[in-house]
Amino acid sequence: MWDTFESRLEITADLVAETGLRVGMGGEAAEPTASDLPLIKDAQGNPFIPGSSLRGVLRSHVERIVRTLENSAGDGKGACNPVVEKEWCITKDQMAELRDQARREGDLWLAEQVWEKSCRVCQVFGSPWLASRVKVADLHLIGETTVEVRDGVSIHREKETVANKYDFEAVPAGTRFRLRIVAENLDEEERGLLWLGLRELERGHIHVGGFKGRGLGQVKLEKLAIKGLDAADPEALKAYLLRGEMKPIPLEEADRWLEALLTKIGAGGE
């Protein structure tokens, strides 16, 4: 899937926080005077959302829907469980067996086997054995924002009393981040899989960051736009290589990608 350059999509949007939003840096605060649970920040000290974090929640949401529609995982269908190794579409033991065979059959055979045995979602978003064809850039702040420090408590589950008090950082509702996704060499149904997740994100059905159970992390997309390139079109390829130009794609066309995906997998996923 990477030996030639066939197509490219670039999707941009504003990701807007509808409630407070926090993507934490993990671990304890480095500064003694900092919040107990600080936000992750860039080199300029501004909060941002790592592209890997957004891609993770986007993928997880897509997996849930695909499993509902297509109940088998592997061989180009369904969605395996990336959290449990024995439920991967290709486990480590299976991959070791394929590599042993590849000593006789060759690397091209191995690549074909990995591709054919991978589930629908892994073929697009990647796996330990496949590179992702969807790249999400870090989402940096648009304009300025404040950082709120909020109080929190943890409850002792047996005594039902306060076990610990702490504070945490969050950005307020209305904060905007710039989203940019690049996807390469996707066919129509694979584009539909990506578009499925983006439409859900646009509608506010996917929450981002921590403390979702407390109401944080509700987001939506605004100013959603798509540009694309089909490398089979010589003039379009020339314009892209010389000037970086790609043609705008109407959102209605993207909705047809999703229709093609749903037609392919059908209800029940036989």
pLDDT mean over 146-158: 68
Residue 78, in any domain of the structure:
no
Distance CA 184, CA 182 (A): 7
Q: Is 106 part of a structural domain of the chain?
A: no
Domain count, the chain: 1
Band the pLDDT of 164: cuts 50, 70, 90. low
> Beta strand pairing status for 176-184 and 134-136?
antiparallel
Strand, helix or coil for residue 159: coil
Could you tell me the pLDDT band of residue 152, with boundaries at 50, 70 and 90? low
- Which of 90-104, 114-128, 137-151 shows the lowest mean pLDDT across its residues? 137-151
Cβ(18)–Cβ(203) below 8 Å: no
- What is the domain extent for residue 179? 7-67+131-265
Q: Report the Cα–Cα distance between both ends of the chain, in Å, rounded.
A: 26
pLDDT surpasses 50 at 29: no
Q: What is the CATH number of the domain that holds 27?
A: 3.30.70
pLDDT, residue 230, reads 95
Q: What is the pTM of this model?
A: 0.88
Q: Could you tell me what percent of the chain has a pLDDT over 70?
A: 89
CB 238 within 8 A of CB 47: no
Q: Is residue 125 part of a domain?
A: no
Instruction: Give the count of beta carbons closer than 10 Å to the beta carbon of residue 96.
Output: 9
- Among the listed residues 141, 138, 136, 137, the one whose alpha carbon sits nearest the alpha carbon of residue 47: 141
Instruction: Specify if 159 maps to a domain.
Output: yes
Q: Is residue 75 part of a domain?
A: no
What is each CA distance from 159 to 103, 106, 121, 124, 167, in whole angstroms? 61, 62, 44, 47, 22
Which tens digit of pLDDT belongs to each residue from 38-61?
Answer: 899 999 999 999 999 999 999 999
In a domain, residue 205? The reply is yes
Q: What is the pLDDT of residue 188?
A: 95
139 is written with which tokens? 């989402």
Query: Does the residue 102 lie in any domain?
Result: no
* pLDDT score recorded for residue 269: 41
Angle between helices 51-69 and 188-202 (to 10 degrees): 110
What pLDDT does residue 158 have?
A: 59
In terms of Cβ atoms closer than 10 Å to its own Cβ (0-12, 13-18, 19+), residue 129 is buried
Is residue 16 within 8 Å of 49, Cβ to Cβ?
A: no
Return the minimum-mean-pLDDT range out of 48-62, 154-168, 177-191, 223-237: 154-168
Specify the amino acid at residue 17: A
